[in-house]
């Protein structure tokens, strides 16, 4: 099928001009939102002046799944992409800068999932995909199927996705997936949740530790709850919970803010260190002012906490 290049002006594809959809701002040639709380508050309708001005200045934009029941299959493997496209009804599709596809449809099914063998993700809720702009490699995002966005019933989506979902086979001690280990950020986050839950950490403790993951840190609270519940079900279904561990909390949300030592520790880990020095050049004609910023993230702290026994 011949692709249709997305215009470089501020025109958004007609299929995405839905008042219920929401968009987020991305820097030029980047794929990550730069505004905090983009999932819930800092997002925009297709006709928002700020969004259009951002496009006019050659910025990229992403569209957020979940709003207006929009779901997106983000798939990078070309072989599987064609297979999936052939199985789905005709629906609006964008070809990415790496020759992958973003397949759009509407559905009541809203469970974020990582597909097997690293072929892609089902982005159902509070996740985003670049819908207009230029890929970091310089290639443009193009319309691949210029048709309306299809509506697919919940049960049909579940049946369709089933053969593509990952199958886990974890050993608690090594915490290694025996085959086709998935090293995407979502998979690493999910494995960490499973490990922390299986070791008996409280929900508050887990919420604190998980702030070391950028996606978790900037995600909508509902995404955190769904991820925690999914990991908890996995632990329970696979019998990974140790005897004598503390009872897991399922009925209280993650704390909106941290207190006491948790808050102080996180602030220390996230606070950039600034080192500055002034030196005289060898010819004594110049003052050399050097500033170095060291941004410390709590990854090592997390690794220490979840280190395999």
Q: Which of 164, 197, 226 is the last residue of a domain?
A: 164
Return the CA Rg of the chain. Answer: 22
pLDDT, position 10: 66
In a domain, 265, yes or no: no
Whether 102 contacts 74, CB under 8 Å: yes
What DSSP letter does each residue of 216-267 carry, written as one string? HHHS-HHHHHHHHHHHHHHHHHTT-PPTTPPPPP-SSPPPSS--HHHHHHHH
Do 124 and 194 have their domain in common?
no
How many distinct structural domains can be found in the chain?
3
pLDDT, position 29: 93
Do 137 and 174 have their domain in common?
no
Q: Quickly tell me which residue has 């503390």 as its tokens.
A: 246
Which residue segment(s) compose the domain that 291 sits in? 270-298
Do 151 and 183 have their domain in common?
no
Q: Quickly tell me which residue has 């006019």 as its tokens.
A: 56
Do 43 and 130 have their domain in common?
yes
Q: List CB contacts of 20: < 8 A, sequence separation 6 or more.
A: 67, 68, 69, 70
Q: Which of 131, 164, 197 is the last residue of a domain?
A: 164
Do 241 and 274 have their domain in common?
no
Grouped pLDDT means (10 residues each) for the chain, 309 residues:
56 95 95 88 95 95 96 91 92 94 96 85 91 94 96 94 71 40 71 83 79 77 84 74 44 52 51 57 66 54 52
pLDDT, position 229: 84
Do 192 and 291 have their domain in common?
no
Count Cβ atoms below 10 Å from residue 274 Cβ, excluding itself: 10
H-run or E-run covering 84: helix 78-87
Q: Which of 164, 182, 200 is the last residue of a domain?
A: 164
Cα–Cα distance for residue pair 69/91, rounded to 1 Å: 15
Do 209 and 119 have their domain in common?
no
In a domain, 264, yes or no: no
Cα→Cα distances 240→97, 140, 172, 246, 251, Å? 40, 45, 7, 14, 21
């Amino acid at each position: 099928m011949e692709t249709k290049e997305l215009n470089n002006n501020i025109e958004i594809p007609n299929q995405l001009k839905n008042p219920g959809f929401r968009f987020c701002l991305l820097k030029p040639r980047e794929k990550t939102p730069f505004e905090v709380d983009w999932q819930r508050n800092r997002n925009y309708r297709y006709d928002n002046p700020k969004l259009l001005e951002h496009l006019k200045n050659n910025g990229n934009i992403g569209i957020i799944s979940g709003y207006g029941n929009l779901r997106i299959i983000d798939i990078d493997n070309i072989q599987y992409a064609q297979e999936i496209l052939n199985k789905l009804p005709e629906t609006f599709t964008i070809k990415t800068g790496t020759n992958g596809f973003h397949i759009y449809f509407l559905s009541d099914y809203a469970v974020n999932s990582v597909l097997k063998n690293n072929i892609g993700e089902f982005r159902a809720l509070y996740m985003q995909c670049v819908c207009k702009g230029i890929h970091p490699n310089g290639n443009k995002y193009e319309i691949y199927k210029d048709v309306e966005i299809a509506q697919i019933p919940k049960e049909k989506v579940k049946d369709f996705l089933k053969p593509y979902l990952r199958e886990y086979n974890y050993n608690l001690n090594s915490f290694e997936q025996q085959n086709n280990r998935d090293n995407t950020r979502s998979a690493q986050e999910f494995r960490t949740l499973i490990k922390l839950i299986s070791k008996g950490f409280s929900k508050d403790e887990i919420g604190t530790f998980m702030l070391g993951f950028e996606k978790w840190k900037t995600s909508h609270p509902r995404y955190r709850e769904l991820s925690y519940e999914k990991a908890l079900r996995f632990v329970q279904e696979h019998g990974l919970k140790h005897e004598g561990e503390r009872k897991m909390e399922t009925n209280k949300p993650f704390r909106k803010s941290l207190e006491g030592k948790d808050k102080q520790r996180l602030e220390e880990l996230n606070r950039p260190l600034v080192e500055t020095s002034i030196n005289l050049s060898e010819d004594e004609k110049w003052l050399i002012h050097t500033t170095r910023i060291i941004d410390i993230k709590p990854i090592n702290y997390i690794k220490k906490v979840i280190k395999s026994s």
